[in-house]
Amino acid sequence: MQDMDMSKMDMHDMDMDMGGGQMMHMGNLKRKFWVSLILTIPLIIMSPMMGVSLPFQVVFRPWSDYLVAILGTIIFIYGGQPFFSGAKAEWANRKPAMMMLIAMGIGVAYVYSIYAVVANNLLQVTPMVTDFFWELATLIDIMLLGHWIEMNTVMNAGSAVDNLAKLLPSTAHKVVAGETKDVKISELVADDHVQVRAGEKIPADGVITSGASSVNEAMVTGEARLVEKQTDAKVVGGSVNGEGTFEMRVTGTGETGYLAQVMKLVTDAQAAKSSQENMADRVAGLLFYAALTVAIVAFIVWMIFGNLALALSIAVTVLVIACPHALGLAVPLVVARSTAIAASHGLLMRNRDAMEQVKKLNYALMDKTGTLTAGNFKVADYQSTTESLKADDVLAIMAGLENGSSHPLAVGILKAAKAQQLTPATASDVHQITGVGLSGTVAEKTVQIVSAAYLDRKKLAYDQATFNRLASAGNSVSFLIQADQVLGYVAQGDQIKPEAKNLIDSLIAQHITPVMLTGDNEQSAQVVAKQLGITTVHASLLPEDKAKLVKKYQADGSHVMMIGDGVNDAPSLASADIGVAIGSGTDVAIDSADIVLVKSNPNDVVEFLELARQTTRKMTQNLWWGAGYNVITIPLAAGVLAPIGFILNPMVGAVVMSLSTVIVAINAMTLRIKD
């Protein structure tokens, strides 16, 4: 499949939004990190940490100082380039953030360290001036690691979808002039005709032009059932054909196919910065101003009460200590861990900000069919209500209208007709009536399949007692009408998903009110709601009605999560604070939802809520750890406690800095959710 191997993406060509500016020309962060790390090892061996010699150091002055300066210069120019590019963009936008704080720290450390080498070895200054090459190198290494992790997250987050791409066969049977020849699927283009044989994987998205079969779309949509496919039915690349053979016209390959669009979704989601990441940039921006202000004030004060050398040393120490080692890793490490967990649990994040909305949720609005129920309808009863038609005639006409549709109700009708060995009626000009049903021409007469709600709105007569009896048993009832006269009906029963009860119980336990929205009749909806423990039900809804209800619940400031199949629920998914598409296999789901669940298990919503809360908590904790180090050490390094005889020992500052970074890393790695 063309253009779908995300593992081959070159980070050299990727731009990254950093604190209001574009961190342009990132270069290969992985290469920069490893080169800088390798050069840092001999530098650490020959350079003191915060002016304090370590037991393993090897010093042979003046040559070791010169060698350290050369290594430090290479690391500064090569490894520091992305941060200066990012700082330039932040400066242009007048929004100092992480990049400017890092650039200030490594810039000051480098200039002062070069001065130290010159002063100590050429000017023979006494006492010797402390250099900061150790801090310069380690800061660049840690920041490169942090941003590499962020970029790598984009690559690894799509692992669940990458596996879907592997479902595609390597070749397809292309039909040319009535004959088939095998070609690589990368050679397929839109409007090509291919043949799909029994048991084969469908090579691309398309529309069936001849033949019929049943297709297993479980690996794409999560629905573990066969879907009947006939002429004009859409099929998705990667799904598995059943026993039939058919020909199809290709509608989507490469970047236009379903799988490619899902993979693009993952990339876009991970490239977008969440509120917590923006918060890290805002904290870094504040630290930039704070460190600069404290350094200037400290320089002036120590010039008055000390001397130039002491004032300069303290000011530089403040700026170097302000470098955000831990802060730079605080969010990327949590994002990487969270994304890996989400992918392994079949959760695709289209909008990472959705995670941070979870703690504000008041209502969970959800569709019934396909979300709480299996969507595997079975005909329980069908009858004619006119003397001109038999019951089997009603079923055959409805099967003719539904022929080729993959809607759950249509599948149930087609299965029933097949079981009764009925030939579906020949129907033409079949089209959907949004939120109502179908309309088409059978035997030169216009007939429609509609719901009871449609009959009520049109004030058309039907047997209310029979409808109430069937609906009260949990059936969805569809009526066949012609010229505003009811000709018959089909009642179908659906089964509640085993995991649905756990979803509702979990929502209630988290003080999130579950609300059912459905286009089905009130009686059928109430049967399901009662079994699941849902007290609020809105039935007989059109798609636009669901979106209006979402806005109605939001009107008083409440936060709403909408859970739906991503097709009929698209408007409400887009309107909700968090849109969750469950068991979806269409482009609409991807475009409308914030979260796409690869599987169709309602428990995935529970896992998403838990992962969201855990991720937000870990990010907040790490931001406090990362910023807390700077808040405490900057004033101490400036000498705020000097009147009582205490100035932060540079060695202590380095130890605290390292400890803070380790704590942030360990805290991120402890993120997990229950399996």
Instruction: Give the active site residues.
Output: 367
User: Taking a C-beta distance cutoff of 8 angstroms, is the pair 394, 477 a contact?
Assistant: no
| Omega before 424 within 30 of 0, i.e. cis | no
How do strand 513-517 and strand 361-367 relate by DSSP bridges? Answer: parallel
User: Taking a C-beta distance cutoff of 8 angstroms, is the pair 517, 572 a contact?
Assistant: yes
Alpha helices in 349-390 (DSSP H): 353-357
Q: How far apart are CA 293 and CA 79, in angstroms?
A: 27
3 state SS for 1-28: CCCCCHHHCCHHHCCEEECCEEECCCCC
> What sign has the CA pseudo-torsion 616, 618, 624, 629?
negative
DSSP letter at 201 equals B
How do the residues of the chain divide into helix, strand and coil, expressed in percent and rounded to 5? Answer: 50, 20, 30
- What tokens were used for 57? 């150091």
> What sign has the CA pseudo-torsion 138, 139, 142, 144?
negative
> What sign has the CA pseudo-torsion 299, 301, 304, 307?
negative
User: Taking a C-beta distance cutoff of 8 angstroms, is the pair 616, 359 a contact?
Assistant: yes
Task: Extract the runs of DSSP E, i.e. beta strands, from 570-616.
Answer: 578-582, 595-597
> What sign has the CA pseudo-torsion 282, 284, 285, 287?
positive
What is the H or E stretch that residue 32 is in? helix 29-46
Q: What are phi and psi of 487, to 5 degrees?
A: -95, -25
Residue 232 gets the label, from left (phi > 0), alpha (psi -120 to 50) or beta, of: left
What is the H or E stretch that residue 389 is in? none
Alpha helices in 131-245 (DSSP H): 133-157, 159-165, 218-221
- What tokens were used for 655? 């130890």
Q: Helix and strand tally (H, E) in the chain?
A: 23, 24
Distance (Å) of CA 47 to CA 140, 320, 450 = 16, 16, 81
Place of tokens 């004033």: 635
Q: How far apart are CA 421 and CA 406, in angstroms?
A: 20
Local structure of 105: helix, strand or coil: helix
Residue 9 gets the label, from left (phi > 0), alpha (psi -120 to 50) or beta, of: beta
- What tokens were used for 669? 């790695």
Q: How far apart are CA 185 and CA 286, in angstroms?
A: 53
How many CA atoms within 13 Å lie on the side-chain side of 454? 21
- 359-369 burial, b for 16+ CB within 10 Å, e for fewer? eebbbbbbbbb
Burial class, 579, CB count within 10 angstroms (exposed 0-12 / middle 13-18 / buried 19+) = buried
Q: How far apart are CA 146 and CA 328, in angstroms?
A: 6
Burial class, 106, CB count within 10 angstroms (exposed 0-12 / middle 13-18 / buried 19+) = buried
Q: How far apart are CA 490 and CA 424, in angstroms?
A: 15
Task: Extract the runs of DSSP E, i.e. beta strands, from 371-444.
Answer: 378-384, 427-433, 437-442
Gyration radius of the chain's alpha carbons: 32
